[in-house]
Each structure stands twice: as C-alpha cells, then as structure tokens.
Homo-oligomer: A and B are copies of this chain.
C-alpha cells in the first residue's frame, strides 16, 4: 500500500460535499446544479465537479438532461415504493450473507457498535445513535465482502433517505431494532437476523407511507 493511495481525488471530495448537501436538504429536490456555481463555491475547477456529477448520477441522487444541466433527483410515489422494495431485498441479502460469513473483523466491529449503542441509548445521546445506526448498515453491507453490494446498498439508501426527507423515526427506536439484528448476527442466526431486518424496514416503510399520505 503506497502513500499515494491515501491521497483523495478532488472529484471524491466534491462528490461527498454535494451528497451531504443533497441529503441534508441544503440542495432541494429539483433544484438545478450549475457546474460553474458549484466549482466557484468549492474553489475548484469545473472538471472535478463534472466527474462528481457522473458519480452522483450513477447513485441516483441527481438526474442529467443533455445540454440542460444537472438537477437534484425527483421521483414519484411509485418509484419511491420500488426503491424501498429494492432496498429491502438487498439488505436481506446483506444481513444473511454477513451472518453466514462471520468475518472476524466485522463481528468485532458489530460488538463494538452494540456496546457503544447501548451506552448511547442509556445516555440519550441522539447524535451518537444516529451515527451508530449508520455504522450498523455499513457494517452489514461490508460484512458480505462484496464491493458491489456495498455500492448498490449505499446508492439505494441514499435515494430512499433523500426521497422521504430524512428521518421519520427516532434514533432510539431504530437502535433498539438494530440491536436485535446485531445480536442475531453475532449468534450466527441468519434467518432470525433477516426476519428482524425485514420487520425493521417494513415498519419504517409503513410509517413513511403514513406520513406521506395522511388520509387513507
């Protein structure tokens, strides 16, 4: 591993910045992203911005119209439902495979997260829980050892997250369900872990639907 590998390409920095702006709502869905404006704002040339656009485009966070620039992605209800369905399927594959593989490093990390999460829940540390909830999903994807699955899941999660406009459930509620999944994975009970994950995501999905369409 050479020193140069740690050097981060400017396009990656730009992509990360834009991603967080999109996910935290700074850039609203449908808003236009001009190369010039972004490059000026970030103090880089237009080229890294363009390459970052291509990546975000592949992640589904932005949509490109030829000769008309880039916009923050906007999807309809039906597409949102499909994305949730895709995410559920991929998360189930991930949690099963991780529980079956039992990669030692992942298991250690999961134990660490489980411990830290319990403490954070007891202390009522919301921001720590939010971070740990994110770690949870990343670990389950990474535990499969599949770069493809990690990339797909990250992409689908981004889409789902930015479409529903952020968290509709409290970090504590998410955490208690996550903790159960982690315990099942640590006990190598893949089917139980998958069942818990399915229930977890299904509940989230339903509560989001209820929020979005309040009148049945």
State the copy count for this chain: 2
Establish whether residues B5 and A66, one from each chain, have CB atoms under 8 Å apart when the complex forms.
Answer: yes
A81–B144 Cα distance when bound, in Å, is 11
Contact among B9, B93, B159 with A82 in the assembled complex (CB-CB below 8 Å) = B93
Q: How would you classify the secondary structure of chain A's contact residues: helix, strand, loop or mixed? A: helix
User: In the complex where A4-B66, A51-B54, A86-B93 touch, is A79 in contact with B148 (Cβ < 8 A)?
Assistant: yes
Q: Does A149 contact B (CB under 8 A)?
A: yes
- Residues of A in contact (CB 8 Å), total 41
Q: Does A145 contact B (CB under 8 A)?
A: yes
User: In the complex where A58-B55, A82-B146, A149-B82 touch, is A7 in contact with B159 (Cβ < 8 A)?
Assistant: no
A104–B196 Cα distance when bound, in Å, is 38
Establish whether residues B151 and A60, one from each chain, have CB atoms under 8 Å apart when the complex forms.
Answer: yes
User: In the complex where A58-B54, A59-B58 touch, is A149 in contact with B86 (Cβ < 8 A)?
Assistant: yes
